[in-house]
Amino acid sequence: MVYWYYTVQKMSINAKTPSLTDAQQEAVEHKNGPLLVLAGPGSGKTTVVTRRIANVIASGVPPWQILALTFTNKAAQEMRNRVFTLLEQDSLHMQGLTVSTFHAFCARVLRDWGERVIGTKTFTIYDTADQRTTVKAAIKSCELNDSNWRPASVLAAISNAKNKLIDVDTFEKEAFDFYTKSIAKIYRAYDDILRSNDAVDFDDLLLQTARLLERDAEVRQHLEDRYQYVMIDEYQDTNHAQFVIANKIAANHRNICVVGDPDQSVYAWRGADISNILDFEEHYGEGTVIPLGRNFRSTGHIVKVAATLIEHNKQRKEKKLYTELEDGYEPIIVSLESEHEEAESIIREVTRLQNEGVLLKEMAVLYRVNALSRVLEDTFRKAGIPHVVARGTAFYDRKEIKQVISYLRLLVNPKDDVAFVRVINMPTRGIGSTSISKLEQLAISHGMSLLGASSIVSKEQGFTTRAVTSMKKFSETFRQWQIDGRSEESLTAASSLADLVERVVRESGLEEFYSTASGEDDLERLQNLEELVSAATEFEEGFEAEHEDLPPPTPLHLLFSFLENVALVSDADVIDPENGAVTLMTLHASKGLEFDFIVIAGLEEGLLPHERARHDDSQMEEERRLCYVGITRARKHLFLTHARRRTQRGVSNRTMQSRFIQEMSGVALTKDTVIEPWDVPDIVPEECGDQRVTVGSLVRHKRFGLGKVQRVIRRPRGSTVTIQFRGGVKHLVLEYAKLEIVSPDNSVEF
């Protein structure tokens, strides 16, 4: 350990710094004993933390005795810079001060004493890519199939165990069924590989440091003596391992200050333990609690809406949220008929505010799941409004979407070897790089494409039995897709572009691959695949409307056009540095940010709150906290939207209003539509020519053939009809469907 020694002198803090509220001042001046600062959104918590560090140093405490921990390098650097400014840029009084992320601090500790827990101080830290490679090797060494045991899901399970300080031995002892015993086996193999390579992963940094502090009294005493003041930012996001580390270091002097807000705890899915902050007073009975309820960011109406919503949670600590800013503009809630109308209403509001002088870079659209971004991206692009997908990937650039697109490219162009290589082993089919190299040589020798060559492989050519079986099955699947896609008969059978895309998603194995996963990312990938089917449906409808005078195209013809359209999608809008671009992002990604104008889209049951929270009160509270975080990102304007119908897998389904809207009702919410949002329309007959279409009617469509009417719904913008054709269910606008009535009742068998 490095120590810095100098003569400590009391000094004053830069007088030019902003004044503090009484609550902030109390937190800054609190020096000794446990302190919990309940910092509401926009309450100036970073100001409090940095002022407190500077104040402790100014009171005569050597900076090397202070440990300040946060979660990102950016936050740590900002904290250091602010303290430097507060100390009037006196670098001497910064020497030895530790302001760091948890992981960086733990790495530093293990560099000093790592041999006591992992046998070395010269370890390598494996990044995400290294971890994935290692867990794949571990799965293989356990003679398990990585198509069934997905590396990402296995790593998530191992990470969750490490964050709870469950090492390999403990995990093995507690394993009780096939799944947990298999994970234990992989965990053991994964850990063995790390040890043999003198390597640790990010979770090991926390796990091994916590173990070191629990088991080694000498090291614990050393760190207790060194760091007599411990400060932790975003305490609501700490996991069990981080709690143990902080608690052990502060156990003796008990000068621990934690800053956070249980109402903004939204990372339980990646190990955050809200009980750390909720139970702070139980751990430190003599502790002081100071609530910072004044919001310096948002106007009165926005604060009121946020406070009203979060009061419905039970897992929280009471604090009065208020602001001394003017009430400002009333938040608006709009009820739209579909996700497209939703996107268009957002565009109108963006345009209106831009005309009033609000910069695009001060606007953000938030959503619960990434799949919702597709329609938003398309609508912004068509409107010519610059936009960026923050901390995420544009829809057509997402991994799972590119995988399907590669399948579709190969379908229309069997000679596309680049697409072939990308998908031949995705999902895993037991076709490794050696088999692909042999296949490339075979293709060259026969003057064929890789797809063509895959149909003639054999064991005699040096391929394994598994590779031969997998390649021939792969080739046959594509052959069948091509036949069905080109067939004229397919027009009356399974015959839409969406049907073809959905079939590729399903029969390629991608749907099953992502549906069997349990991680948050994997579930979102599955939702994105469903959204791609919806995108195909919309493209086909638009194509038909544009080319209604031409004969109906085959699905393969439509697919050519669809892929061309996708290839031409570009985010190369010229972005004015001053005006910037509208930010599209998930609610999770928005945490810690703020904008003048915030949109929260998709306020529907199953989206926000998410479907998985339906039967879990704890998860439901986290969903409410997530909505609360989104609301409190807004400074001046808040725009909440929900769609009465939303398309999933190409089928338009009625939605249910988010319960959060009702919970916010009665405060400053304005309805922007005369449509009563949740009046379920009656199923009624509708005129079609001079005949009545009713449920049970047998009808003929010029493209889809014969079908039976399942329901007819009167809608504000035109009636719709749901029809069961032989090729599947279709939802059509009655005005444009041009249906021929074969039998007006249920008298003809279908």
Residues recognised as catalytic: 45-46, 233-234, 264, 633
723 in helix, strand or coil?
A: strand
> CA 738 to CA 719: how far, in whole Å?
13
> CA 430 to CA 230: how far, in whole Å?
51
574 to each of 110, 382, 387, 396, 551, how far by Cα in Å?
Answer: 48, 14, 10, 19, 39
Strand pairing class (651-654; 645-648): antiparallel
For the record, the structure tokens of 529 come out as 């695949």
Contacts of residue 672, Cβ cutoff 8 Å, sequence gap at least 6: 332, 333, 334, 335, 345
| Selection from 171, 254, 261, 153 nearest residue 207 by Cα | 171
Which residue type sits at 155? L
265 in helix, strand or coil?
A: coil
Written in H, E and C, the secondary structure of 535-582 is HHHHHHHHHHHHCCCCCCCCHHHHHHHHHHHHHHCCCCCCCCCCCCCE
Angle, helices 151-163 vs 128-141, to 10°: value is 100
117-122 LR contacts (CB < 8 Å, sep 24+): 117/208, 117/211, 117/212, 117/215, 117/216, 118/195, 118/200, 118/204, 118/208, 119/195, 120/198, 122/198
* 342 φ/ψ angles, rounded to the nearest 5 degrees: -60, -50
> CA 372 to CA 505: how far, in whole Å?
19
> CA 720 to CA 562: how far, in whole Å?
25
> CA 172 to CA 181: how far, in whole Å?
7
* Cβ atoms within 10 Å of 446's Cβ, excluding its own: 11
What is the secondary structure of 72-101 as a DSSP string?
-HHHHHHHHHHHHHHTTT-GGGGTT-EEEE
H-helix or E-strand spanning residue 456: none
